Each structure stands twice: as C-alpha cells, then as structure tokens.
Amino acid sequence: MPEVTITRRATLLAAPALLWAAQGRAQAFPSRPIRMIVPYTPGGVSDITARLIAEPMAAALGQAVPVENRAGADGVIGTDVIAKSAPDGHTLGLVSVGHPVNAAFYRLPFDTVRDFTFLSMTTRTPLVMCAARSFAPSTPAEFVAHAKSQPAGRLTFAGTAGVVRLAPVLFAQRTGIEMTYVPYRGSTQAHPDLIAGRVDVMFDTVPAALPHIQAGTLKALATTGATRAPQLPDVPTLGEFLPGFEASTWGMVIGPANIPAPVLSRLVAEIHAALRRDDVLARHRTLGAEVVTSTPEQSRDFVQAEMEKWGAAARAAGITPQNAG
C-alpha cells in the first residue's frame, strides 16, 4: 500500500470543512428526544433531580427529555445501558455516588471511567452519624473512646449499600476501632433497630434520618459533609474531628464515552441553566440536597478520586467484587 502523506496545504484546506461539519452536527442536535436514564427506582434524589431538570432542558433544546427508570443490581443494569448507547448526546443518565462505589462491590460489565462522558455534578447530600437517644456517646470523640473500651467488634453499625456501608468502614479505619457490619435492605428497615438500640450506629443520609432526629428518637453525633448541614447547624462535621474526612452522596449527569465536543458543550450549558433555576434550587433544599455543578473535566476527576477512595476502604475491609445481578 502506498504511503499516504498529508501536506500542510491539504490540512489547511480540510480544516474549514471539518469545522463546518462539526458545527453542522451541533446545529442539528438534538434531532429526536433525549432520554434520561435513572438507574434506580423512582422517588429518590437522583430520580427527582432528573425530572426537575428534564423540563427546562426540553424547553431549551426543543425536544422532549423523558426520564426512564432502569433499576437493578444497585444501578449497574441502567448504567450499562448508558455505556452501550450511541455517543450522539441523545442518551444521558443521572447516577449517584453508587457509580464509583459499585466498582468496589461488583465485577462490572463496563469501565467506570473510560466508558462514559461525565457532564456535570448536580447535587451533594451529606450523611449523618446517628444513634438511639439512649446510646451513651454523643460526640465522635466519645464514640471512639467507648468503642476502644469494648471488645473489638462489639459495637455494630447498620448499613445498606454503597457509601452508607463504606462511610463507617472508613471512619473505623481512620480511628483505629473495629465495628461489626449489620446489613439491611434499606434505611426504613434499619431505623426501628437503630431506635431500639439493637444496632449501635448508622451513617445515613440526612433526609432519611432527619425526621427521627427531629422527633427525638435518634440523635446526631456528626455529619459527614465538608461543611455543617443546614438542617443540623449545631451538629459538628466529622472533618472537625478527623481532618479531611468527607463522605457524601451526590448526583451527576453522564453519557456514553466520546460525545462530540459541540454536543457536549450544549448539553452542559443547558444542564447548568436548569440547575440554577429558583424552583429547582428550592426543591432541592426541601430534599436536604445542595445543588452543585462542575465541568466535564472536574466531573471525571471527581469520579476517579471517589473510586480510588472507596475502593481502598473496601479492600482494607476485605470486600471483594462479586458478580452483579
């Protein structure tokens, strides 16, 4: 086969054509509805966020943005659909912290970073370290001292999945204590045992635990965000006790890898505009979630860092990936 040589003149002549083609694709986008896959059941923060931003995005883009719940295997099933969709911007998804955390628990059918385009974060919600009102310790320092006075593993923590399970693991690793994991299918199943003192502590999302804290049946020892939670302003963060400790749930819009740059820029701009709407901000405040945005580069780096942090915590706890499903 003869060698192909591209001269500088040919490159210069081709550049306007390539630019025109890229602009044409951007101007033609979207050419049909943009489906927003939520790989979880309806009603959670990810699902609510997706529906809140879908309407303003549809109005701005001139195409419907239907939200499609594809739950199963802690989000793996729906996320796999996103990974294997055409990278033309017409399929997006809204995932949570479970996206990078799942790499610690499952053998995945996709690469957590390489197989996706990361558009923007949407929300961040801290956890709260909570226990029954009758539980003696009331601060993280008291909790650690109490744990060290007990036989190793005597104290128990309730966990469900993902970061709700791994946050107390990371806390135990950082403080040199041992706790025994008690699994539950969801927060609502864990709360009765936590309130009754049959399990000692739980790191739950603020929205899930807040009604019990306000009712006086649970007490908050600390929250896990970078700053104090607005709903619990008198409760310290764990970072005030353990500098650098942070564990939050969050949301992020993603798509399949290699979405064209002009399409990506348009989508990110509309996602950010939707998230800045007063009604969207107000609704998230009622959910206990902080609205946050990020660039695609920041989003990708954040997912990579989260995967490394929670993966290290899982490995240190002896958790090995299992088949998803």
3-state secondary structure at position 95: strand
Residues 6+ apart with CB under 8 A from 108: 76, 80, 102, 321, 324
Dihedral over Cα of 284, 297, 79, 159: its sign: negative
pLDDT at 28: 87
pLDDT tens-digit readout, 223-239: 999 999 999 999 999 99
pLDDT band at 152 (very low <50, low <70, confident <90, very high): confident
3-state secondary structure at position 259: coil
Same fold across 33-124+249-323 and 126-240:
yes
Q: What is the CATH number of domain 33-124+249-323?
A: 3.40.190.150
DSSP state, residue 33: -
pLDDT higher than threshold 70 for residue 216: yes
Burial class of 173 by CB neighbour count within 10 A (0 to 12, 13 to 18, 19+)? middle
**Cα–Cα distance for residue pair 251/254, rounded to 1 Å:** 10
**Domain spans in the chain, listed from the N-terminal domain onward:** 33-124+249-323, 126-240
pTM, two decimal places = 0.87
pLDDT higher than threshold 60 for residue 263: yes
pLDDT at 56: 97
Q: What is the CATH number of domain 126-240?
A: 3.40.190.10
Do β-strands 67-69 and 35-38 pair in parallel, antiparallel, or remain unpaired? parallel
